Structure 1
Amino acid sequence: MPQIDPPRRRRVSMADVARLAGVSTQTVSRVSTGYSGVDGSTRRQVLAAMKELGYRPNGAARALKHGEFKTLGVMLGSLADTGSGRILESIAAQAVLAGYAITLIPVQAPTRSGFIGAFTRFDELAVDGIIILMKAQLLDEVGMALPPTLPHVVVVDSDISHRYSTVDSDHAEGVRLAVRHLLKLGHRTVWHVSGPEQSAAAIRRAVAWRSELEAAGQTIPPLLHGDWSARSGYVAGLDLADRPGCTAVLAANDQTALGLLKAFQERGKDVPEQISVVGFDDIPEATSFIPSLTTVRQDFAEVGRLCLQEILHQIRGEGSRRTQTLVPAQLVVRGSTAVSRACGTATSGSPPSASAG
């Protein structure tokens, strides 16, 4: 015998509350939107009726009264990478403190139809602003413009000279700190295994790496491209292990560095006695690598906090729609870097000016 689904329960309306409370729908509307000109006993009567019926005030109605929906949209491409996940976590925590909810919409395929669908959905859900955790240039590549009536912040993997407001880590400064650290340890040059060629962050890091070596008058080795993964670091490491002039490597991120360490171990290259390795991100597991990883720390929590702060400023009309904010990076020196053999006995450590962690 076929199973019959129970009838769907009708959503409780404002008129239902008004009938139970013995008041007009206008009075219920005033209570639900926070209007102060309602008698105390009447207010309590209406709230009691709302509770009994399970009525939820319409967010759009509250927005008409107060000018805000108290909801922010977050568009992102993936949560798989370290930065997006940790920045999103910070944004969500800060939003709660500010009294806002988060509506998350992933855009798996960065196509025009994908972006239109996401923006349309945000419009239907009535958000006060949109935070985009993906490369801003993708919008231009498909001919998309952000809705002009919505405040917005573009956060991760974006060109800071772009026409949208951005909050991001200072990738270039982080790379400069890493390269200078390795050169001070006596390494003649620094090899670099970069992130994907289409990544704005990877491009900025590669440009900073090349510029720092040029400024120091050092030879610039060929750039090796990776994809942020340990696998790509492993493949690059097998190549670098066979290059006699390679004594120092800057990895695109800590996952890439993990792959390098595995390849060097398999090829009998001791880290840091023969090759020094520096990562980027400072993931929680970096201290558990063997050896513990010297890396560039990105303050993802601060990026998220400033991102939320910036979009709230825009919503309240307190800020510009084209601000660029860079969060400083920090070099954290651990056991994967050491003085080059060309300078004498290899000892783990760093100049006094570097920070330990």
Structure 2
Amino acid sequence: MSEVNALVAHQDAEGSIALKHEIVDLSFLPDGDVQIAVEYSGINYKDALAITPRGGVARGYPLIPGIDVAGTVTASTSSDFAVGDRVVAHGYDIGTGRHGGYADTARYPAEYLVKLDELTTAEAAAIGTAGFTAAMSVNAIRAAGVQQADGPILVTGATGGVGSVSVDLLAGLGYEVIASTGKSEAHDWLMALGATQVIGRLPAEGEKVRPLGKSQWAGVVDSVGGDTLAYALSTLNYGGTAAISGLARSADLPTTVMPFILRGVTLAGIDSVQLPIGARRDVWRQLGGELKPRHLREITKDVSVLDAPETLRTIVGGGVTGRTRVVVHDGF
């Protein structure tokens, strides 16, 4: 096959970005050890930023977006991967500087890829970057020694991809989970995922973020940032850990050093982009085993790849709940 069906983003002289279906030559893809028949991708906040003027993530255009790639190997010069292997790829420059998953074919270096043993490609794409980040966040809290008996874990932005999978994983491990969201209609859904309690956005309207508030949580999974994270830090228990991975609300952190020096709390940064491949493969093994989300089907909805542009327009405004898997095979 010498032709590739793809969604390609182009930027014009005025800075506007258009994402449209094109048929390109295989040479349009960068060189790589392994060629993949892409079956699924995903919808992530970063994918939306890649097609947003001044979004700050795309390194140049034309670009095939899609930071999640799951499919089957069709050609390989690497001894680590054989034709027919199920694989997943994400992170590094995929979908931002190197063509991503919104195409029926992709090509990557072998050191970008994770072989799937326990998971199907559909399950891996449903988990995606967001679920992987959730697993890293949960692991950070566990590595800090936070036990189930130490108190509840707060999950902010709980209806998002990272948040919803975090609720599922933490509850499955026996933690008491407090889910924070501004979407009142998602209350029952979050409870079904395992949340013990669902509360509104933090801080509550009119509530002041104090340097130190009342201790409430043993740990925090935050993908929101801004005053939400500041509030969470100020209300962590002594020795608590906040695993942070996003800035959906703000990149600012209007806080003081007091939670850190008076309560010994830890701010654990979570980055799934540059994580070395060995550690990446270890987390995926966990996601196929003890950390496999219990409610992946309830968390995930599918869209065809040709419908991805419309869905991407809604995610920036918070209009997407859970994980959205992009069906690429048979989608063009």
Structure-2-length-normalised TM-score: 0.35
Whose strand fraction is larger, Structure 1's or Structure 2's? 2
Decide which structure has the larger Cα Rg and report it: 1
Bigger fraction of residues in helix: 1
TM-score using structure 1 length:
0.34
Higher relative contact order (CA 8 A, sep 6+): 2
